[in-house]
Amino acid sequence: MDAMLDPTALQTLWFAIIAFFFTGYFVLEGFDFGVQMNVAALGRGSTARRGTILRTIGPVWDGNEVWVITGGAAIFAAFPEWYATLFSGFYLALLLLLLVLIVRVCAFKYRDKQDSPRWKNSWDVIHVIGGFAPALLWGVAFSNIVAGVGIDRNHWVTTSLLGLLNPFALLGGLTFVLLFWLHGTLYLTLKTEGELREDAHRLAGILVWPTIVVGAAYLLWFQLAHSHQAWTWASIAVAALALIAVVPLARMRREGWAFAATSLAIAAAAITLFGGLFPFVMPASNDLANSLTVANASSTATTLTVMTWAFVIIMPLVLAYQGWTYWVFRHRVSGDEGPVPGSGLVEKARRGYRQAFEQD
């Protein structure tokens, strides 16, 4: 058992990199989910108003989604045992999540294909589901991963689908929903104008209180009952202080700082979950000896070394590109149906690309 809990430096590094990918996903895609939730909360029966809400994430949502694809690929390459057990044992739950994410993509692509209010309203319902459902499912899934599930000697998950819907996991789902909803609402205060911006301010002031209470209950439960590390008390404190700071920052209309605070809270919560999980990747609730750990679930040292060099070379380019994208689309979105500010530069780049590859 001691060898199982003694990972090498490379194995530990790749556990940290996977935690980095999912932390980035939750921070970036989290506000996308929150914005979609607000299609219902702030849409007020107006198709145009809901369109404005969705336009705030139109240029960036698909780039944010890439983080989870990369994270999943990293688990497959770096920890194949973890990947096999996780995706087979959570098959139905992850299939449902995948279906929701696919339909969510269709909602973004097809909503504006027709001018019919009925057509747009139908896709707006899908947008709302595409915001709430993934947040809830991610919360339930990650809560079961960090708390542990039944695993046999062959590393098959024995916990049923209904068994995954335990009180701790459901509280985790609610926490993810509230935190992402607040995060997306503060994003709207940064990206909209006029009445919609004021409504987002008011909603953020309401949402912050249940988010603090539910989030505190969830992280304390995790730390006291499931965490394997004492240092994660520090990340819990950071998450708590960041959420509490949202209250005065939102009242002072420090929109950027309030959004940064929820970003920090989400990052600290993710660090708490991954940090408390280490050195396990899937603890067995029935027999700890059947657990998957960072040491016994990883690929070979050669594989991890090659992956590390690829990460070091490619990741800075990805971060630079995504940072540039956010800079280009940094402007507020108004209620008109014109192009999103900054989209002209992107269209110019697309035309140049087409011309370059159409030449003989």
Q: Going by C-beta distance under 8 Å and a sequence separation of 6 or more, which residues neighbour residue 351?
A: none
pLDDT digits (tens, 9 = 90+) for 12-46: 999 999 999 999 999 999 999 999 999 999 988 78
Q: What is the pLDDT of residue 204?
A: 96
pLDDT class of 357 with cuts at 50, 70, 90:
low
Q: Where are the domains of the chain?
A: 18-299
pLDDT class of 278 with cuts at 50, 70, 90:
very high
pLDDT class of 360 with cuts at 50, 70, 90:
very low
pLDDT digits (tens, 9 = 90+) for 143-175: 999 999 999 998 999 998 889 999 999 999 999
Lowest mean pLDDT among 83-97, 130-144, 169-183, 272-286: 83-97
* CB-side neighbour CA atoms (13 Å) of 66: 8
Q: What is the pLDDT of residue 11?
A: 96
Q: What is the pLDDT of residue 13?
A: 97
Q: What is the pLDDT of residue 336?
A: 55
Residue 276 near residue 268 (C-beta atoms within 8 A):
no
Q: What is the pLDDT of residue 343?
A: 47
Q: What is the mean pLDDT of the chain?
A: 91
Q: What is the pLDDT of residue 349?
A: 54
Q: If you average pLDDT over residues 334-339, what whole number do you get? A: 60
Q: What is the pLDDT of residue 5?
A: 73
Q: Copy the structure tokens of residue 135.
A: 């947040």
CA-to-CA separations, 185 to 33, 189, 355, in angstroms, rounded:
10, 7, 40
Q: Which of 204, 246, 265, 243 is nearest to 35 (CA)?
A: 204
Q: What is the pLDDT of residue 354?
A: 56
Q: If you average pLDDT over residues 107-132, what whole number do you get? A: 91
Q: What is the pLDDT of residue 114?
A: 87
pLDDT class of 353 with cuts at 50, 70, 90:
very low
Angstrom distance (rounded) from CA 63 to CA 76 = 21
Residue 204 near residue 246 (C-beta atoms within 8 A):
yes
Q: Which amino acid is at 286?
A: N
Residue 189 near residue 197 (C-beta atoms within 8 A):
yes
Q: Copy the structure tokens of residue 285.
A: 């609730």
Q: Copy the structure tokens of residue 150.
A: 């039944």
Q: What is the pLDDT of residue 237?
A: 97
Alpha helices, DSSP H, located in the chain? 9-41, 47-55, 61-78, 80-89, 91-110, 117-147, 161-164, 167-191, 194-225, 232-251, 255-277, 301-328, 343-358
Q: What percent of the chain has pLDDT over 70?
A: 92
Q: What is the pLDDT of residue 314?
A: 94
pLDDT digits (tens, 9 = 90+) for 214-245: 999 999 999 999 999 999 999 999 999 999 99
pLDDT digits (tens, 9 = 90+) for 56-99: 999 999 899 999 999 999 999 999 999 999 999 898 888 999 99
